[in-house]
Amino acid sequence: MPDVNVPPSSVRTIGRGLYLLTPDDTDTARLLARVSAVIDHAALLQYRNKRADAVLAREQVAALLPLCRERGVPLLVNDDWRLALACGTDGAHLGESDGDLRTARAALGEDAIIGASCYDSLATAEAAAAAGASYLAFGACFPSPTKPLARRATPELLSSAAGFGLPRVAIGGITPDNARIVIEAGADLVAVISGVFDAPDPAAAARAYRQAF
Ligand SMILES: Cc1ncc(COP(=O)(O)OP(=O)(O)O)c(N)n1
Ligand SMILES: Cc1ncsc1CCOP(=O)(O)O
Ligand SMILES: [Mg+2]
């Protein structure tokens, strides 16, 4: 069994490629099996489960962490940096309703990966960069089956965010076919839920995203 208290040297870097977000699955064993089948194609994994209460979320993060350590993939927690801290994950992803990034950075430490949602706003990106974000996420770039009402961002906006000097993440409705559009616009990572987890063959879909880079 991997020792979850000892992060491997590979976990603190943000690579390029597929940034997988978990589906809203309340069955922990099934979630683990679904993630296990695709994680080798991912550069980062985010635990995001809008159907989990606090107890289930903690159980699921604790179940995913040894898998992520074993495969050398950093694990981030969506929405809740305190859960990330309690479970010893590699970081957290914060949106506009998820608390203050500086507070999260102070609690999680300099080495933590803390991502920020910037939606369609360069002003939000500038503020997040100044507050110590590790990467900037823009989107939804395309209509998202998971979040149909998400604000939309253009590929041009992604290009305009190059000057912040931080990795750029594109999210929202990204498929293996349209991934090239955001990659050519400057995305270092494409963040995906349905394109992998709702695909007939999730591992083949995950591989296809990786090959788009
Ligand atoms: C990589 C990445 N980018 C954006 C989001 C969206 O975060 P948020 O706006 O807080 O919305 P929810 O995910 O909480 O619905 C994200 N989670 N990950
Ligand atoms: C969390 C989030 N934020 C903007 S779109 C989105 C959902 C992404 O899921 P999908 O890859 O299924 O569009
Ligand atoms: Mg959020």
ipTM of the complex: 0.99
* pLDDT tens digits, one per residue of 52-97: 999 999 999 999 999 999 999 999 999 999 999 999 999 999 999 9
Q: CA of 122: how far to CAs of 63, 110, 125, 136, 138, in Å?
A: 36, 24, 5, 10, 9
Q: Which of 12, 34, 82, 147 is catalytic?
A: 147
Does the active-site annotation cover 147?
yes
Q: Is the dihedral of CA 60, 100, 172, 125 positive or negative?
A: negative
Whole-number Å distance, alpha carbon 5 to ligand 2 midpoint, is 31
Stated pTM of the model: 0.95
Whole-number Å distance, alpha carbon 124 to ligand 3 midpoint, is 15
**How many CB atoms are closer than 10 A to CB 194?**
17
- What is the C-alpha to C-alpha distance for residues 176 and 18, in angstroms, rounded to an integer? 10
Q: What length does the chain have?
A: 213
Pocket of ligand 1 (CB under 6 A): 19, 46, 48, 78-79, 93, 95, 98, 115, 117, 137, 169, 171, 191
The CATH superfamily label for domain 15-211 reads Aldolase class I (3.20.20.70)
Domain ranges of the chain: 15-211
- What is the C-alpha to C-alpha distance for residues 21 and 145, in angstroms, rounded to an integer? 14
Q: For the residues 181-193, what does the mean pLDDT come to?
A: 98
Mutation test residue for ligand 1: of 24, 98, 117, the one with most atoms within 8 Å of CB: 117
User: Pick the residue with more confidence: 4 or 32?
Assistant: 32
Q: Residue 178's pLDDT is what?
A: 98
Does the active-site annotation cover 160?
no
Question: What are the backbone angles phi and psi of residue 81, rounded to the nearest 5°?
Answer: -70, -25
Does the beta carbon of 150 lie inside 6 Å of ligand 2? yes
Q: What angle, rounded to 10 degrees, do the helices at 54-71 and 28-36 form?
A: 30
Nearest one of 13, 37, 12, 34 to 25, comparing CA atoms? 34
Confidence of residue 3 (pLDDT cuts 50, 70, 90): very low
Confidence of residue 13 (pLDDT cuts 50, 70, 90): confident
- What is the C-alpha to C-alpha distance for residues 66 and 17, in angstroms, rounded to an integer? 22
Does the active-site annotation cover 117?
yes
Q: Residue 36's pLDDT is what?
A: 98
Whole-number Å distance, alpha carbon 78 to ligand 1 midpoint, is 7
